[in-house]
Structure formats: structure tokens, C-alpha cells
Structure 1
Amino acid sequence: MRELQLSDWLPTTNKEVKIRGWEELDVILFSGDAYIDHPTFGAAVIGRLLESFGLRVAIVPQPNVHDNLQDFVKLGRPKMFFGVTGGCMDPMVSNYNANKRKRDKDAYTPNGDIGFRPDYATSVYSNILKEKWPDVPVLIGGIEASLRRVTHYDYWSDELKPTILETSKADMLVYGMGEQPLREVVRLMQRGVPFSSLTTINQTAVLLGKEDKIPKNSNWEDIEIVPHEVCLVDKKKFASNFKVIEQESNKLRARRIFQKVGEKTLMINPPYPTMTEEEMDASFDLPYTRLPHPKYNKRGPIPAFEMIKFSINIHRGCFGGCSFCTISAHQGKFIASRSQESILKEVDLVANMPDFKGYLSDIGGPSANMYKMKGKVQSICDKCVAPSCISPVICSNLDTSHKPLTELYQAVDSHPKVKKSFIGSGIRHDMLVPEFNKNADPKELDAYTEEVMTKHVSGRLKVAPEHTSDPVLKLMRKPSFQYFHKFKERFDKINIKKNLKLQLIPYFISNHPACEVEDMANLAAETKDMGFQLEQVQGFTPTPMTVATVIYYSGYHPYTLKKVNTPISQKEKEEQHRFFFWYKDENKAWIKKTLNKLGRQDLLSVLLPEKNERWRKNKPKGDAKHTFDDAVPFNRRKNKAKFKKKKR
């Protein structure tokens, strides 16, 4: 492997521009992240893509917004446009936790230091650029821009905000993964088309002025959603918008969306078709150094890079459509997979890095086990508007074969320098349960599960059932908890058969819409029954462009427009979260008081049996409210129904 030179990275300073012999730049990118020249980081992907078109591209990572704003003028005026992204995460998620408290680490900054990324970074950067260079087009993209492209609820300010095109004053927004629309932007500009005329490019959005004419496109149908000003005063109408936005985002033949914002009109063009295998390979095969820029050498490691340094991304997209998740909103519902050849080529690059010790940290994607999965009959997918391919049941048209994935793992492990490859991404355990994945070959599912457990896990397998309450899971677009029980049975069987001694680590969420305190008590008791003392837990954080966030703010489900109860106050959230930690002494008295108040002594006897021994010895006979059998874990859902019947 040759020794890298400074010129191997995209330039970040005037000195580096001069090293390349350039007198001017075509595009200058601004990013809220440190510059890591790796295909996992969006700014690097876009920079390398633009470079592959023959453009002279520079990047200004984490520009200083607190001084004289020199970072925004130091590279001069680009010939074509400025590109702006807040980073790989929404800056508000990077900067604050679920309780709106400032984080003490930023994973995308050297040494994890904070203070290098402003709140609402995309809008901050774009506004500065429009002030400094009013006649230079600004194009925004990345997850912050993508998920804030229409009227959206912002949890951190607790208010509805208009499209980010309004707050940022940017000229164009690219949503989703940016390779396809940017290719067309550059192609047209190189042909002499002015930026202001680029209004009919797929997967872009623009804000039209009062006097602007609606661009014509005979290939598209149009639909108008509720105006921003109406959303501000009518939560139910705001909620109704989301169904249109989500369905059109996931259609293969989508409509163009319009929304009034004051006297302006937001126009969101339909997305591009899912990237082909050839397009995916081309993006990942660009000449990345795979390393942070040398300017960070003395500032300390970048946590996000250290985590993915020896990992391989094999696909994009997720057809799970979980109500609390933004992956499908940004990357799309349909899976875009790389070829095995491209993946193995990257494995070889990683294996030959000087500090590679033989261990790949992850062979995965947004969900680890969706590689190469797609519809069996494409024409059926063409007409589909369902936000999830696996909820409430797995679509009969979905090919969920895990064979290509099992074969890929085996091909990766055959590399002479790879000692072991791990699966660090989340595995959809429900797709490995034949009772749920009824169209799959059970032997194939077991072969994949056994392959993962025996060769790709180090002590612990992490999965995400998320909850135990069926009503909550239904709203989450997750399967019934009974399928987690089924998966655990198969997991335990393989564990014993192979003498592995692996741990199963489930992830759970508290205070999600539709979740009540009693649901959390059931969750705590049921998981304790199964032998778990939970550690991988989190509180629900409302982020733009999810069903759950729309419900959290409006109180209405966007698909049914029926009311949904949601924990809103800090007290409600903290109380629900406490049930995760029933085993902590500081929670026991509160749990006892709460469950006695709810009349759920059955749950109390499971969670704190030593505290409830007196009641158990003297429990009344013949009262369904006090039915408990120590020897056999009972079905709490049936018990709950009995209690309600008794109360009535």
C-alpha cells in the first residue's frame, strides 16, 4: 500500500487547493462533521462523486460560526454552487439527548469534542453563505435537510417549523441519497443550464416565489398537501399530511408534492428509482483514502470513524418502516445492494490496511439481514403504497432468502487476512422465525442463524424487539412479542447444540406513543420471566419525518386520524423508563406503590417477590385480580383482560 500524500484527500484549505494546481473551484462543500474520506460519510461520498465528474471540489468541515466567519470566504467563490450538509446525523440529535440535555461527546468530531457543530447546522451554514455570496446557488442535502423538507415538528424547540428551504434560504434541497440527483444537476449545468432553471430534477425540492410559474412535467401527477399556516393551527390536518409524504416517498412512481408556505410554494419532485447494483458499486468504488484528513492527526481519534474503520456496508435502505425510525424516510424502503465482487474488493482494501488485525467489525447495513432482498414480481411493487414490507405481516411478494447473505459471509471469511467478521448491525430477528416468515425455507433461516451465532458474534447477539405490548408494537410496525419468544427458543437450541454460551441482548424503547405505564410494567415482568436484566434501553426521541413523531406532537395517527395517547410530560417519561430498572433499590418502593395503585399485584409478585411475600401467603381465593402461580410464567395479556373485566 503506497504512502498517502496530502493531495489524496479533497482540499480543505487554499494551500491544499494550490497543491493540486487549481486556480478556482467548481463546488465547495460545507459539513457539520469532521472530514473523513470514507464511503460511510456523506460529505466524502458527494465530494468524490463530484470529483469523478471532472469537477474541482473542496470541503470545509465544521466551519467556525463564532469568529469573523473566515471559513466561509477563505476558498473564494465556486464556479457552480455551494453544497451544505449538517452531517451524518441531525445536528439536534448529535447535540442533545432525549431529555434535551447537551451531550458531552460528538462522535463525528476529533476526540469527541463538543462545540464544533451549531444547532440546526444546515440552516446556519446556508444563511451565512447566502449573506456572504448572495448570487451563488446553495444546495442543501444530508439527513437534516432530507427529513425537514416539509412542515415538521421540531422536538428541541417544541414547535412546528416550515420546510428547511425557508429557514435556510437555500436554492435547492436534495433529499435521500444524493448521487442520482447530483449527477443530473452537474450534467445540466455543464451543458449551460442555469442553476435557477433546475426545477424538474427528481429527488429535489425548491421553494417557488409568488410570481414563479409551476414547471411542467408531463410524466408526473401532482398532489397538494395542507399549507404550513393551516398546520400551525390544526394538528389533525398537520397529521394528515404525513400519510401523503410517506407514501409518495416510497412509491416507485410517485406524485409531485406541493405545499403553500406563506406566499411561496414548496415543490417536492418524485424520487429516483432505487439505485442499481452497478450504481451502488460505482459509489463505493470511488478512490477514498478511507481515513480522516491528516489535519486531525494531533487532535485525537474521531469516535464515529473508529467504530466503522474496519466495517463494510453492503446495502442501503430498509423495508421495515418502523414508526420511530428515519432510515426508510432517508434511504428509501427498497433495498439497494452492492455486488459481492465490489464488497470483496473493499474487504481486500481493509485487510491490507497497516493496522488491520484480522477482525472486521461489521458486515452489514441499516438492517443487517436485508441484503439482496426485493419483490419477486416487480409490477406488484410498482403499485404498492405500504410503508412496510414486513408489517403487519411479511409480504408474500417479498423474497426474504438469506442464502445470498450466508454465501457472502462465507466468501468474506475466506479472505486469507480475515480471522473473523462480525455482524455489528441490527438483525431483524422476526424474519428468522418461520412462524412469522411463513414463505421462507425454515432450513435456510436456521442455516443463517447458525452461521451468525457460530462465526459472526462475540459473546452477545443484539436484536430489537422494542416492546412486549402488542398494541404498542402494532403502532411501531413491529411484530408481536410472541415471535421474540420463538426466536429465543431457536437461539437457545443452537446455543446448546453448539455449546456456544452466547447471550441474547434485546433492545427496548419506553414512552413510545400508545405506551402506558402498565405496558412498561408488563414489559419489565415479561422480560424478567425470560431471564433478562435489561441494559440496552432508551426513551423515545421524536425526530422529524416519522409516524411516531407526528403522533407525539399532534395526538393523531396520520393514517387513521384517530387519537392516540402519548406520554408527553417529563414525569410520565421518567416513570415509564423506571420500569426498565426494576432491580435498582431506588426504584423498588415507587414500583410497589405504582403497581398496588394499578391493582397489578401479579406483576409486583414477579418484579419484587421478596417485597410481596406477605401478600402471596395471604392472597384471597377465587379472585381473578390476585391469580398467580409461581411455578409457571403466566400470560400477562390474558391476566390484564381479566382484571379489566373484573373492574367493569
Structure 2
Amino acid sequence: MNDRRKNDDLTRFIPTSRAEMEARGWQELDVLFVSGDAYVDHPAFGVPLLARWLESLGYRVGIIAQPDWRRADDFLVMGRPRLCVAISSGAMDSMVNHYTAARKKRRDDAYTPGGQSGARPNRAIIAYTAAVKGALKGVPVIIGGIEASLRRLAHYDYWSDQVRRSVLIDSKADLLVYGMGETALATIVRRLDEGEPVSAMSDIRGTAWVTKTSAEDAVCLPDYEEVEQDSAAYAKAFAVSEQMGQKTQTQRHGSRCVVVNPPAAPLEEAPLDALYALPFTRRPHFSYTQSIPAFEQIRWSVTSHRGCQGGCAFCAIARHQGRRVQSRSQSSVVDEVRQLSHEDDFRGTISDVGGPTANMYGITVENSDLCGPCQRTSCLFPNICRNLQVRNGRAARLLRRVREIKGVKHVFVASGVRYDLLEQQSDYLNTLLEHHVGGLLKVAPEALSDPLLKVMRKPAAHAFGRFVEAFRADNRRRGKRRGIVPYLMAGHPGSTLNDMVDTALFLKRYHLRVEQVQEFTPTPGTLATCMYHTGIDPFTGHAVEVCRSEKQRRWQKALLLYHLPASRKAVLEALQACGREQDSAALLGGGRERSFVEPSNRKGPHQERLPRRKKSSRPKRR
């Protein structure tokens, strides 16, 4: 009995050791995955999802999680794989994972047991590839994940303050898979299994490869050497890459060219459902003795869709997950919730049903043929595209079905919502407010000054104001006492002290107070990072003011936290610096602090005390 139970433990997870391979009767792997994250066998984690997918196709796969890149033996624990090694830095770019916006080393890592930092290297894709090529000479190396997606072309790197080459060049990998990767990786592995050399795989969608000659019929981007030296050339390369994202692109790096094939087609509902129906244990690997914070945060949540059509300037989701929302069927989501409800330690609460934006579930395009030649980088900005169908009611029906499941007592929506979409989704808004908001609702206006919001590609401030008023009217109607959590950002390109003063006055007018502000971090591959580096809006050519001064950033944060006594001195300095001393009375009220909360049964909007935002952010969904 004990031997059988031990063998079951060894075979429930994707193998991570020779003992687990032998328990399955394997002497050799087909594909070895290397990941910068701890191994959590859950569909919200990219490498385990891809490993389970290849396993379902009949391949023998193993995972080496968070190996010591300085030790060759760590990469040899399961021997030499027959077909290839697939490498990912994990769910985050390794530099974003390691450093704050102030370039200070983070002290924790949500994707590591015990939340300990230091388990993965800087520029993990490059470090892991070098280690694999040293330990497993001649084995094809495929790189992927968000770090590879965002760095597939020449890109500005905030931490070195320079334009770096494509990570495919710097890592010397054989192929790069960008995007979610299921289709591209399966194609690569199948063709390797059929005996085709990796050097011949130049036609697979969702991949990038290196050649000595330019690809035919490709959109030519300015060379690396040009974009490294010339900000205008960098801005042009970014704009062309974004607007021509459905075409093959090429960018010369010295004597070689990086060729980026068109993205893989979005997954339809049936194959997406099939991914989430794979036999995940939904647990960290049994070898871990400490909890993994990222797993604890998503343990009782369900991903209903992937991709985002918002196109916010600072966001990298669309560049990795895609610009088209891909939704699971209602039955697929319901089946997953039922599975969770049968677990012994389930207490009746589903913490989230959502994705990058909760109320994008189920939205579709009316005519997909119009999307191919379209050069818009956002379906929502400056206005909602008429080809986008947002009023189909699928999201509201999904929430209703989930909360009707036996054993489910509470269903919350913790993913952010787009309030500009809610104006056309009255059914979802009513369902959300009636059943799925606890004490607080999270929204992300990011700023409340129209000039800055335009740079960010976000809805105008009055849209947020209408949403706050509707939310509070619903509170009064239901006799509830709930608050709004507005997430705001300081230091974004285009952000000035005047914008922050206007945002603070908006907060004051609507009796909203925040206790923590996110500081803009230039993430590789985003529009905002392009503007930060070049000082240019690449789509208009207009100059964009960039906040680089530490003092300016401190002032901007202080203005958004104007109500805190510790911010008072910095607020007065900021108001003087931008010539708006006359607003000190409106913001600081002569130094008196009013009560944070007024009784919810009073007429008019009540003030809301907002929680301190956690330092370890919610893990990004794949």
C-alpha cells in the first residue's frame, strides 16, 4: 500500500527527477523544460501548461524548475532529451521580477517557495540558454515565455539604460517562440520528431529565427545599430512593428537578421477548453516544503479568458497574450469550479473569475476579416471599435452559472474591470454589484487628468467619474457600504506635476483616497517604454515629456497621496514648483484631516478608506 501511494505521488506530476522518470518507466525525455518559476502544476503557470499540453500529445516531458545556472549538473538530472530543451524565465521578465522602478533589488519573489528572492538569474533566458548549451551540447534550444516575447526585437532595457539586441541574438538560442506558445511549440516538437532540423524551421507562426539574408516579403525595420544610436529610428521601428504586427518582420543585427513571423492564430473555444481540461494536480510539486505566494493568491481563482484589446500604453499583456480576447466556454469554466469545490480544503469561496480584464470575457469581433489589415493598436482607444461586440451578455451569464454551483457560497471578481466597457454592459454591472463585490471593487484609472490619459491610451476622467457616481448610487439603493480601489500611477511618460495636481483634485472632489501609488517601470516592448526612452510618441511623432528626476517622481507620488500627513511637505514643494500654490487650500484644507468614512446612508458620495496595496502583486495570468 505504501509503495503504491509513493509511486502515485511520483507519477501525478510532470517528472522533475530521475526517480519520477523511472516511476513512469521512462529512460529518456523527449522535451526538457527549464523554468525560472517553481513548479506549480496549475494552468495559470505557463511552463506546466505547455508541458501538460505536450504530454497530452504523447511526448515524454520533464521540468527543471529554478536550476542553479552556475552548475551544469542541475541541467543533467534527467539526462539528455531526445528532441529539444524549452526555456522560459517564468511568469515575469526576470529584470522586472528582480528590481523596483528605482532599480533597487526586490527582497521577495512570489514564484519561489517561501517567497525568497535570488532563485533565478538576471536575464534568465540568456543565462539558462548558456548553461544548457554548455551542459547539453548539440540539443536544439527553444526560448519562450514573456521575457522572450517582450525582447524578441531590439529593445530598450531600463536596468542597463541602453538598447539591447534581440534576446534571440544574445542568447544564441535556435528558435524563439513568442505569445502563448501552444501551437508553435507543438509544431516545432512534431517536426523535430519527424527528423527535420531546427535550422530549417523558418515558416512557423509565432516564432522568430535568425538568418544571414533578409526574408522575402518581410517588413524591414530599422537596423539594430541605427535604433541603438537614434531615438527617432527607435520610435519608427516600434510604430512599424506594432502597426504591421500581422506581417513577417525583419531587423538586421550586424551581419545577421532576426526574422519575426506573424503571430500564431488565436485559439478557438474548443482547443482553449481542452488546455484547461488537462490533468493538472493544481498543486505545487510535492518536493516543496514552503508555500509559494503566487499559488496561494490564485489557488481558488479561475481564468476565464486570455488576451486584451485595450492597448494601454504601459501594459505588456497584449504583446504576449495577444490583442484578441480568447474565451473559454461557460461549461469549461463551470467544470473547473466544480472540480475546485470538491477539494477537501475548499471553503466555498471562489476568489476570482476573470482574466487580464474581467469584463472582457466573451467579447468578440463582428467581422474578423476587418482585423487583419487594421493598424489600430487598441480596440478601445480613442473610442470603442464598432466591430467589437461587447453587449452579448456572456460574462453576466457565466457569473450566474458559477454562483449556482453546489458548494459555492461566494464568487468574487478580483480582476480589474474596464469601466468604459461597463457603460455598454449594464447586465454585467448589475450582476457584479449585486453578487460579486465584497467590501471593495478594484478599478485602474491609472490617472485622472485627460492629457495624461490620452498618452496612456485610457478613457477620459469623466468616464471614471460617471462610474463612481453609479457605484455609489447602487450602494445607497442596496443599503451597502462598499468602496472603490482606484489604482494610480506616477512617473508615466507624459506625466507632469500639473497632471498629478489635477488627479489629486479629482480624488478630493469625489472623496477618494489611496494609500499606495504604483511607480511606472519601463517594461521591455511596451509603448510607454518606447516613449520613456525616446521622448517621442511613435504614432504621432509628437514630443512626450518624460519624468526622469527622482525628486519629480517623489513629488508626483506625494500629490496622489496628498491626504497623508507625511506627504504635506512634498505636496507644498510640488505645488510651488508648478506654480499652483492656489490649490493648496483645496488639497490640504488648512492641514485638517477629515474622517475617512462617512455613514453610507447619508446623501451624496461617502468617503472610502482604501487598503494598502500589497507589495507582491497578483501574479500575471498567462
Identify whether the pair has TM-score above 0.5, normalized to the shorter chain: yes
2:321 corresponds to 1:331: yes
- In the alignment, the residues of structure 1 paired with residue 487 and residue 73 of structure 2 have an alpha-carbon distance, to the nearest angstrom, of 45
Q: For 1:195 and 1:9, how far apart are their aligned partners in 2?
A: 29
Asked whether 1:140 is paired with 2:132, we answer: no
Q: Which of 271, 274, 284 does residue 276 from structure 2 map onto?
A: 284
Match of 1:269 in 2: 261
Q: Which residue is equivalent to 2:15? A: 11
How far apart are residue 608 of structure 1 and its match?
Answer: 1.5
Match of 1:168 in 2: 171
**8 Å contact 2:555–2:574 — kept in the other structure?**
no
Report whether the alignment pairs 1:35 with 2:27.
no
Equivalent residue, structure 1, for 2:618? none
**Partner SS state of residue 491, structure 1:** helix
State the 1:199 CA deviation: 1.3
Task: Give distance in 2, aligned partners of 1:599 and 1:577.
Answer: 18
* Separation in 1, partners of 2:516, 2:261: 39
1:397-408 correspondence to structure 2 within 5 Å: 397-401=387-391, 403-408=393-398
CA distance in 2, matches of 1:560, 1:394: 20
> Could you tell me how far 1:53 is from its partner in structure 2?
1.5
CA distance in 2: counterparts of 1:572 and 1:595, whole angstroms:
12
Task: Kindly indicate whether the alpha-carbon contact (under 8 Å) linking 2:516 and 2:561 is maintained by their aligned counterparts in 1.
Answer: no
Matched, 1:310 2:300: yes
Structure 1 residue 133: Cα displacement? 2.3
CA contact (8 A) 2:354 2:415 kept: yes
Unaligned runs of 5+ in 2: 593-622
Tell me if the contact between 1:89 and 1:143 (Cα under 8 Å) persists in the aligned partners: yes
What amino acid is the match of 2:373?
A: K
- After superposition, the Cα gap between the structure-2 partners of 1:597 and 1:271, relative to the gap in structure 1 and judged at 3 Å, is closer
Residue aligned with 1:30, SS: strand
Question: Could you tell me which residue of structure 2 aligns to residue 340 of structure 1?
Answer: 330
CA drift at 1:597 = 4.6
Give the structure 2 partner of residue 644 of structure 1: none
Displacement after TM superposition at 1:55 (Å): 0.8
C-alpha distance in 2, partners of 1:377/1:204? 26
**C-alpha distance in structure 1 between counterparts of 2:188 and 2:57, whole Å:** 11
Tell me what 1:227 maps to.
223
Separation in 1 of the partners of 2:111 and 2:223? 36
Q: CA–CA distance in 1 between the matches of 2:576 and 2:207?
A: 55
In structure 1, the gaps of 5 or more residues are 434-439, 613-648
| Residue 293 of structure 1 pairs with residue 285 of structure 2 | yes
Structure 1 residue 584, shift from structure 2 partner? 2.8
Alignment of 1:111-190 (within 5 A): 111-190=114-193
> Structure 1 residues 360-369 or 272-281, which shifts more?
272-281
- Whichever residue aligns with residue 220 of structure 2, its letter is E
Coordinate RMSD, CA, aligned: 1.8
SS at match of 1:383: coil
| 1:90 matches 2:80 | no
8 A Cα contact 1:534 1:581, kept in partner: yes
**Alpha-carbon distance change, 588 to 269 in structure 1, aligned in 2, over 3 angstroms:** same
Q: Say whether residues 1:200 and 2:193 are aligned partners.
A: no
- Structure 2 residue 518 is matched with structure 1 residue 542: no
1:239 equivalent in structure 2? 235
The question of whether the paired residues in 2 share the 8 Å contact of 1:369 and 1:402 is answered with no
Mapped to 2, the partners of 1:593 and 1:16 lie a distance apart of 62
**3-state SS of the aligned residue for 1:60?**
strand
Write the mapping of 1:377-526 to structure 2, written as runs, cut at 5 A.
377-401=367-391, 403-433=393-423, 440=424, 445-526=425-506
Identity %: 40
- Residue 379 of structure 1 and its aligned partner are, at CA, apart by 2.4
Shift, 1:609, TM fit: 2.1
Quick one: distance in 2 between partners of 1:534 and 1:415? 36
Secondary structure, counterpart of 2:518 in structure 1: strand
The residue number in structure 2 matching 1:527 is: 507
Does 2:67 align with 1:63?
Answer: yes
In the TM superposition, residue 611 of structure 1 has moved relative to its aligned partner by 4.9
> Is structure 2 residue 244 aligned with structure 1 residue 248?
yes
Pairwise CA distance, 1:527:
0.4
How far apart in 2 are the matches of 1:593 and 1:78? 61
Q: Which amino acid aligns with 1:262?
A: G
Higher RCO (Cα < 8 Å, 6 or more apart): 2
8 Å Cα contact 1:506-1:536 kept in structure 2: no
Aligned partner of residue 356 in structure 2, secondary structure: coil
SS at match of 2:372: helix
TM-score (norm 1): 0.88
CA distance in structure 2 between the partners assigned to 1:512 and 1:227 by the alignment: 27
Q: Helix, strand or coil for the counterpart of 2:473?
A: helix
Residue by residue over 1:13-64, the C-alpha shift from the partner in whole angstroms, topping out at 9 and shown as x without a partner, is: 1111111111111111100000001000001011111111211101000001
**Alpha-carbon shift at residue 215 of structure 1 (Å):** 6.3
Aligned-pair distance for 1:374? 1.4
Letter in 2 for 1:527: L
Residues 184 and 201, structure 1, Cα contact 8 Å, conserved in 2: yes
What is the CA–CA distance in structure 2 between the aligned matches of 1:195 and 1:354, rounded to whole Å?
46
Measure the CA separation in 1 of the matches of 2:402 and 2:314. 33
Letter in structure 2 aligned against 1:204: T
Task: Supply the distance in 2 between the matched residues of 1:463 and 1:586 (Cα, whole angstroms).
Answer: 25
Kindly state the Cα deviation for residue 459 of structure 1 after the two structures are TM-superposed: 0.3
User: For the residues of structure 2 that align with 1:556 and 1:596, how far apart are their CA atoms?
Assistant: 28
Does the CA contact (< 8 Å) of 2:42 and 2:281 recur in 1?
Answer: yes
